[in-house]
Amino acid sequence: MPVAKPPGVAIENHSVKKIPQPEELPPGVPSPVLPGTEEPRSLGDMMREAELLQVQKAETDAAAAADVEADATAQPRRQKRVNRAQLRRYARERALQALYQWDVGKSQASDVRKQFLDGQDMSRVDVDYFVLLFNGVSHHPETIDTALSEALDRPINDLDPIERGVLRVATYELMECQDIPARVIINEGIEITKRFGADKGHRYVNGVLDKLAASVRPLEMRRR
């Protein structure tokens, strides 16, 4: 039945939006809810939602704190200061390694020295002392070997290469480094042989250096 048009009032044509029926919706799309027909949320639902938000915030804060801690841990730690005795111990060890390469590999002393100075980690090494020891032995091998041979019970070439290198370094120190006590030099030779040499090789090194020190530094060794 047609709607009567009141006098003086214009009636506009409004298009009515059609609400799709559930069977007309694509799969997975929920049915629309008409305004005013929503189910009211209970107090328990709201409390659970608030609790969930608090848990999520706590997890986010914890993750952020972990990131900050990781960044702080990643900062480079200050290296422990190495004292002079340790610097010289590392210098002796590097000199031994370089002399081993020079001796066994028949390499040029200058090439080996440059290789170690340029290519090895020398951050904890007394570099000047390393150069002193390496040059002292490699530049004057006949002088060192002649003095050392007086304390040996066999030809120097029959020695284990590591023990030969340790003994050469210690011989140079006993002869040329008078500021270092003989017992310190002997003990350093023993400890380095324990680390790099053959099993019980340090006993042989100890005996040789005791005999050599008594010959090279008789007054000092007599005062023990």
For the chain, 224 residues long, give each residue's pLDDT as a single digit of tens: 555 555 555 545 555 555 556 566 566 555 555 555 555 556 666 666 666 667 667 777 776 776 666 655 555 555 567 699 999 999 999 999 999 999 999 899 999 999 999 999 999 999 999 999 999 999 999 999 999 999 999 999 999 999 999 999 999 999 999 999 999 999 999 999 999 998 889 999 999 999 999 999 999 988 76
What is the pLDDT at residue 60? Answer: 73
**Full-model pTM:** 0.64
Domain boundaries, the chain: 84-222
- State the CATH class of domain 84-222: mainly alpha
- Closest by CA position to 94, among listed 143, 166, 156: 166
CB atoms inside a 10 Å sphere around CB 212: 25
Alpha carbon of residue 171 to chain centroid? 34
> Is residue 153 helix, strand or coil?
coil
pLDDT at 44: 62
